With several copies, the nearest count.
Chain A
Amino acid sequence: MVQLLFMGKLADVSGAMMVERVLPDEVQDTAALRTWLDEAYQADGALLEPSVRLAINSEIVAEPAKVRDGDEVALMPPVGGG
């Protein structure tokens, strides 16, 4: 089980900001995770874009990075506050 956080506009893709999913065996890293989620949510490539960065357990990761059971993975579209 991983906890997926769809930040910002990506919540519109998944329909919820927080989702728990059991990882299929073949999803072991961020590249496979993106492909799997993009298909699962029919996101049409939105989750494959390099402008979407991933954070695992509250750290932005250099990709591809390992994804393990129990991880919290945040999918982060371009940020900006102020």
Chain B
Amino acid sequence: MIDLLEAPFDPAEALGEFNAQIAGAGAVVSFSGHVRPAAASGPVTTLYLQAYSPLTENGIREAVERAKARWPLSAVRVIHRIGEMQPGEAIVFVAAASAHRRAAFEAADFLMDYLKTEAVFWKKETGAQGASWIEPRTEDYKDRARWGA
């Protein structure tokens, strides 16, 4: 249900595997985030994602449990890359299945806001200008606040 992967993965393949186990759920929402090829400071050459196990996994697991308590979900999947990755590669994949369309949308949205602002990861972007650590934007914290405590 939750995986931190050191190697590249294909979100479409992840969706295929997810769909194979959700017989009966009417609605499936997936999100995938990809390494952007350019930042404000210029082209991005690599993105490095640091996790702190098992804190990272435990936190994501709790967020998934909160989502399941809040929405009627039949399945949830979270995949997150760690280590070094290249522009275009998938960083994160979230999928939520439910009998109800809005539940699937909201749960995926909620989990992404959690991953962006609370999941135990640190991100370093490297480009021609050197490396810089990236923290969540004000917007990310605002998005997160939509769901309450």
Contacts and interface: CB of A to CB of B under 8 A. Distances in A.
The answer to whether A and B assemble together is yes
Interface of A: 5, 7-9, 55, 58-60, 74, 76-82
B52 A80 contact: no
A77 B50 CA distance: 12
Contact of B52 (A9, A74, A78, A82): A74
Interface in B98-131: 101, 112, 115-124
Given A82-B91, A82-B112, A55 B123 contact: no
Contacts of B116: 80-82
A55 B55 contact: yes
A11 to B, nearest CB: 9
Contacts of B118: 79-80
Interface of B: 33, 49-52, 54-55, 80, 91-92, 101, 112, 115-124, 133-136, 140
A75 to B, nearest CB: 11
Contacts of B136: 78, 80
A59 B59 CA distance: 10
Contacts of B121: 79-82
26 contacts: A7-B52, A7-B122, A8-B124, A8-B133, A9-B122, A9-B124, A9-B133, A55-B52, A74-B52, A76-B52, A77-B133, A78-B135, A78-B136, A79-B118, A79-B122, A80-B116, A80-B123, A80-B135, A81-B51, A81-B115, A81-B119, A82-B91, A82-B92, A82-B101, A82-B112, A82-B121
Contacts of A74: 52, 55
